Amino acid sequence: MESKIELRQRMRQGLREVPSAASEALIAVLKHHAISWQAGNTIAIYGGLRGEPDLVGGFLPWLCENGHKAVLFTIESESLVPRLVRKPADIIRNRFGVWEASSDCKPIEIASLDVIIVPGLAFSTQHLTRLGRGGGYYDRLLAHPECKARRIALAHSFQLIDELPVEPHDQRVHEILTSGS
């Protein structure tokens, strides 16, 4: 089994080569899946990096148009803080180049999140584990005792692996959506 370091390197390279059409296909799968969500749900998305689906441009407007509350996170003291976003002006780039909610956006309780779209570099189809980028931000969020949200990952086919190296702090997702889903 590859180490986490080796897997991260391989997956980052793969993400650099993802055509925009592949990311758009993942957004389409997510929208189709989200049709069944109850109106008014609070949905947390991530502000992706290169090769990751553009949830800010491709999914955030759809969420708002379909009566959901949209959330992006800000990083504060090594933790992700959920904040409601309503318009493009509510979103800024953070020090990592990731979209996040501005500090002017209202923070909400973790317990109020219904669905979290969780980023990752690789995912285990067998155990629903994920390999993040190494900062532990999402593992800490998902391990929070008040976090009861449904955890959904979006993955290109090359990001799906039978088994990932897992440590005790690593958190799982509930489902993985691919453009083949």
Q: Which residues are CB-contacts of 177 (< 8 A; sequence separation ≥ 6)?
A: 26, 29, 30, 33, 152, 153, 154, 155
Closest CA to 75 of 41, 113, 49, 46: 46
- Average pLDDT in the chain: 93
More confident: 87 or 100: 100
- Whole-angstrom distance, CA of residue 125 vs CA of residue 175: 9
- Whole-angstrom distance, CA of residue 139 vs CA of residue 136: 5
CATH architecture of the domain 4-177 equals 3-Layer(aba) Sandwich (3.40)
> For 123-142, what is each residue's pLDDT tens digit?
999 899 999 988 899 999 99
In the prediction, which pLDDT does 2 show?
86
User: Please, how many CA atoms are within 13 Å of residue 71, restricted to the half-sphere of its CB?
Assistant: 26
pTM of the model: 0.94
Q: What are the structure tokens assigned to 154, written together?
A: 């979006």
Percent of the chain residues topping a pLDDT of 70: 99
Helices (H), 60-108: 60-65
In the prediction, which pLDDT does 94 show?
85
- Whole-angstrom distance, CA of residue 60 vs CA of residue 34: 12
Domain boundaries, the chain: 4-177
Residue with tokens 């509350």: 69
- Whether 111 contacts 123, CB under 8 Å: no
In the prediction, which pLDDT does 89 show?
85
